[in-house]
Structure 1
Amino acid sequence: MFLVGGTFLAFLLIGAPVAFAIGLSGFVFFVNSDVMPLSIGVQKIANVSQSFPLLAVPFFVLAGHLMNESGITDRLFKFSNVTVSWMAGGLAQVSIILSTLMGGISGSAVADAAMEARVLGPKMTENGYSKGFSAAVIALSSLITATIPPSIGLILYGYVGNVSIGKLFLAGIVPGILMMTVLMVTAYVISKKRNYVSEGARIPTFREFLCAVVDAKWALLFPVLLIATIRGGVFTPSEVGAFAVVYAAAVGFFGHRELTFDGIKTAFGDALTDLGMIMLIILMSGMVGFAITFLQVPQSVSGALLAGLSDPTVIVGVILIILFVSGLFVESTVLVLLLTPIFVPIIKQLGVDPVHFGILMMTIVTLGSMTPPVGVAMFTVCAIMNVKIESYVRESLPFLAAIFVLVFALLLLPDVVLFLPRLAF
């Protein structure tokens, strides 16, 4: 396993694409194995693609891009602006609310952060918000998409760990709302101290709020339909992804009348670009996943952890620390595909619910996208807004502290995460 891991890290260090680093490290395992022919490795790549639950990924990615082209994103922004822009740090609050709502649309933290950096970033700096604060709020609020359904990460975790995706979707709602709350409180406290208040800001009237709700009704209805159809047994998670594509197209054509043929071409082009990267990583992980299982890595790691520790909560806490450190250097999708087969058997052996662990894991590994040294969402937002990394890091510390406190609370209080899945299933 050291040879496989060393090969993977070596290719990452020289700047090779992640998919090739994974594939070549898996290839090294089969080339150096005396009992496993290389043809088995090729079969494992093919086997990964033959998965019905995995169909949810391309469907939801395409649905997210179609919704961007159908006017849903603009209406969500207007709704968020009406409801919270009157508060201290109004535009920061808009970013956090928008991330929560977009979590049910894009399912991608990086896509959400990039969109908000373009739309909200200039407005925040124009209204006196510091660039570092603006970038930190936008990037870190996109973490909410890690748990709010239809999170792409939760789909992959459920697929690799053989965990119910429907339960994961339901389990992510309360943590997502709590994440929104703690980030809003943190932004409010900082903004109040710095006097980040928009001129002429006022609480909206009931009529203004109602108009915003009606205008964004199709966007607000989608997450509700998503959960209701899965819980009601109408669709499987894969089928509801196909439903999301049809829903986005129907809203664009008939509800908002903004979706054009050019918009469809743009959505398909963007979706294909995203999927090319995601699916190549997933396919290449088939060989490495098999190597991890064959070499009994989960059993070795489990033995090492269980030998010195006995409390399940402490062990899960140690695993989360390992995941956070790994997330600082490796993209979240890769970590989910590579480490889920290692850690899920361990936490099951401890009696920890894999749904509870999945929510914590996705939050922690996605956080790596917002932190140095290789945070994709961080670099994306800072590049779009022309923000220095050191300024971003300094302003992000209060938000990171709030996130860690919330994760620690969710670790100690599993019933908060598991309340909705138990109620529904």
Structure 2
Amino acid sequence: MLLVVLAFAVFLLIGMPVAFAIGISGVLFFLQHPELPFTIPLQVTVSQTQNFALLAVPLFIMAGNYMNRSGITESLLNLASVATGHLKGGLAQISIVLSALMGGVSGSAIADAAMQSRILGEEMTKRGMSRGFTAGVISFTSLLTPLIPPGIGMILFGTIGQVSIGRLFAAGFAPALLLGIAMSAAVWYTSNKRGYPAEREKRASLAEVGSALKGGVWALLFPVILLVGLRMGIFTPSEIGAFAVLYALFIGFVVYRRLKAKSFVEALEVSLADVGSAMFLISLSAIFSYGIVFERIPEVIASSLTSLTDNVQLVMVLIVLLVLAAGLFIDATVIIIMMTPIFLPAVRAMGGDPVHFGVVFIVAATIGNFTPPVGAAMFTVCSILKVSVGAYVRESLPLMIAIGLTTILLIFVPEFILLIPNLLFG
């Protein structure tokens, strides 16, 4: 299996697309084991596409693209401005709230970072904020997006690890709140030190708050409806994905009336491309995963970790460090697909809660989107705002510290994560 991992690393370094790097390196495992039928790679690839639970992935991707074109973003931006515009570094604070609100719309950190770069980026620099600070805030605050239902990472982790997606959805709210508060404090500290202005002179009135809530209520209801539907047994995770698409179309065509025939087709085309790349990656990862299971790597890692310590929190810290290291070179989606079958059994064997681990794991995997050398969200924001990676990293340090301390808190105080799912699901 060592040769397979080395081949995968080399393929990535020479710039091979991730899906092909996973698939080809996975095939090398079968070349090393001629006793295994060579029809297995084809069989596991095809069988992966027939996993009914994965139907939720393309449906939620499609729902997110339609929600983004429904006109709901402007309403959420207004709501975020009303909520935090009076704080120091007003637009930066607005970016944090908008990322949390966008979780129910896109579920993708990269999509949120790209959207906010175009909406808020230049406005923040016009108010005197440095481009490095602007890029750092927009990039790192998008960490909140995949934690709010329906985060695609949650669906992938739940499907691959056989963990309740409803409980994972419910578990994302409290960590998102804690991370949002921590990042808001980091933004306030920097803004106060540099004299970055607030967006509003005073707090919004009750009338303004009511009007903003009215405009954004359809987006705020979306994750709530998802949770209620799952909790009451009205929908399965796959069925609720279909509901999400219908909900997005209803908002776009009936409520805001901004989704027209042209934008409908554009969203469909983008969805087809997104779904195709995601499912191709998931399918080829089955070849790689077969070798992991065949070599009993989860059991080896579990025994290795338990030989170091029998404290599940400390084991989670080690896993987070490994995931952060992998995130320097591998996309978050790939990490979730490849490493969930490796680390989740180890945590389960030590008595850890899979939902608690899942949220911490997804946070750690997503952080890789914002760090060099291959962070997708980082490069997206830096290219749009024309910022060097060096300036971006320097200006992001307070946010990195805030996120790191919050992640440690989430590891050692699992009640923050498990409170809401335990209340809703028992």
Name the CA shift for 1:166/1:248 in 2 (closer, same or farther; >3 Å). Answer: same
> Secondary structure of the residue that 1:38 maps to in structure 2?
coil
Quote the Cα distance in structure 2 between the aligned partners of 1:238 and 1:193.
Answer: 48
* Aligned residues of 2:90 and 2:199 also touching (Cα < 8 A): no
Name the CA shift for 1:277/1:199 in 2 (closer, same or farther; >3 Å). Answer: closer
> Aligned AA for 2:148?
I
Could you say which residue in structure 2 is the equivalent of 1:145? 145
1:288 aligns with 2:293: no
Quote the Cα distance in structure 2 between the aligned partners of 1:400 and 1:95.
Answer: 16
> Secondary structure of the residue that 1:292 maps to in structure 2?
helix
> Secondary structure of the residue that 1:3 maps to in structure 2?
helix
1:244 aligns with 2:244: yes
Name the CA shift for 1:60/1:180 in 2 (closer, same or farther; >3 Å). Answer: same
* Aligned residues of 1:289 and 1:338 also touching (Cα < 8 A): yes
Quote the Cα distance in structure 1 between the aligned partners of 2:200 and 2:120.
Answer: 18
Quote the Cα distance in structure 1 between the aligned partners of 2:256 and 2:307.
Answer: 59
Could you say which residue in structure 2 is the equivalent of 1:27? 27
Alignment of 1:6-405 (within 5 A): 6-198=6-198, 201-405=201-405
> Secondary structure of the residue that 2:39 maps to in structure 1?
helix
> Aligned AA for 2:149?
P
Quote the Cα distance in structure 2 between the aligned partners of 1:279 and 1:212.
Answer: 38
TM-score by length of 1: 0.98
* Aligned residues of 1:166 and 1:230 also touching (Cα < 8 A): yes
1:90 Cα deviation from its structure 2 partner: 0.5
> Aligned AA for 2:213?
V
Quote the Cα distance in structure 2 between the aligned partners of 1:286 and 1:350.
Answer: 26
Give the % identical residues: 44
Deviations 1:45-64 (A, max 9, x none): 01111112211111111111
Quote the Cα distance in structure 2 between the aligned partners of 1:337 and 1:41.
Answer: 17
> Secondary structure of the residue that 2:51 maps to in structure 1?
coil
Quote the Cα distance in structure 2 between the aligned partners of 1:402 and 1:34.
Answer: 50
1:202 Cα deviation from its structure 2 partner: 2.4
Name the CA shift for 1:9/1:109 in 2 (closer, same or farther; >3 Å). Answer: same
* Aligned residues of 1:127 and 1:198 also touching (Cα < 8 A): no
Quote the Cα distance in structure 1 between the aligned partners of 2:267 and 2:277.
Answer: 16
Question: Which deviates more, 74-83 or 166-175?
Answer: 74-83
* Aligned residues of 1:136 and 1:396 also touching (Cα < 8 A): yes
Name the CA shift for 1:47/1:398 in 2 (closer, same or farther; >3 Å). Answer: same
1:205 Cα deviation from its structure 2 partner: 1.2
Could you say which residue in structure 1 is the equivalent of 2:406? 406
Deviations 1:261-300 (A, max 9, x none): 0010111111112122211110000111111000111111
1:157 Cα deviation from its structure 2 partner: 0.6
Quote the Cα distance in structure 2 between the aligned partners of 1:239 and 1:200.
Answer: 43
Quote the Cα distance in structure 2 between the aligned partners of 1:89 and 1:203.
Answer: 14
1:358 Cα deviation from its structure 2 partner: 0.4
Deviations 1:354-374 (A, max 9, x none): 110000000001000001111
> Secondary structure of the residue that 1:118 maps to in structure 2?
helix
Quote the Cα distance in structure 1 between the aligned partners of 2:290 and 2:319.
Answer: 21
1:199 Cα deviation from its structure 2 partner: 6.5
Deviations 1:176-226 (A, max 9, x none): 111111111111121111111147632111111111111122112111111
1:34 Cα deviation from its structure 2 partner: 2.2
* Aligned residues of 2:85 and 2:199 also touching (Cα < 8 A): no
Quote the Cα distance in structure 2 between the aligned partners of 1:203 and 1:384.
Answer: 31
Quote the Cα distance in structure 2 between the aligned partners of 1:404 and 1:200.
Answer: 30
Quote the Cα distance in structure 2 between the aligned partners of 1:104 and 1:70.
Answer: 13
> Aligned AA for 2:105?
I
Name the CA shift for 1:200/1:230 in 2 (closer, same or farther; >3 Å). Answer: closer
Could you say which residue in structure 2 is the equivalent of 1:417? 417
* Aligned residues of 1:31 and 1:37 also touching (Cα < 8 A): no
Quote the Cα distance in structure 1 between the aligned partners of 2:236 and 2:179.
Answer: 27
> Aligned AA for 1:408?
I
Deviations 1:274-332 (A, max 9, x none): 12221111000011111100011111112222222222221111111111111111111
Quote the Cα distance in structure 2 between the aligned partners of 1:158 and 1:183.
Answer: 27
> Aligned AA for 2:368?
G
Runs of 5+ consecutive residues of structure 1 not aligned to the other structure: none
Quote the Cα distance in structure 1 between the aligned partners of 2:181 and 2:27.
Answer: 45
Runs of 5+ consecutive residues of structure 2 not aligned to the other structure: none
Question: Which deviates more, 96-105 or 23-32?
Answer: 23-32
* Aligned residues of 2:61 and 2:106 also touching (Cα < 8 A): yes
Quote the Cα distance in structure 2 between the aligned partners of 1:357 and 1:157.
Answer: 10
* Aligned residues of 1:141 and 1:183 also touching (Cα < 8 A): yes
Name the CA shift for 1:335/1:211 in 2 (closer, same or farther; >3 Å). Answer: same
Name the CA shift for 1:56/1:200 in 2 (closer, same or farther; >3 Å). Answer: closer
Say how many residue pairs are matched: 425
Cα RMSD for the two superposed structures = 1.1
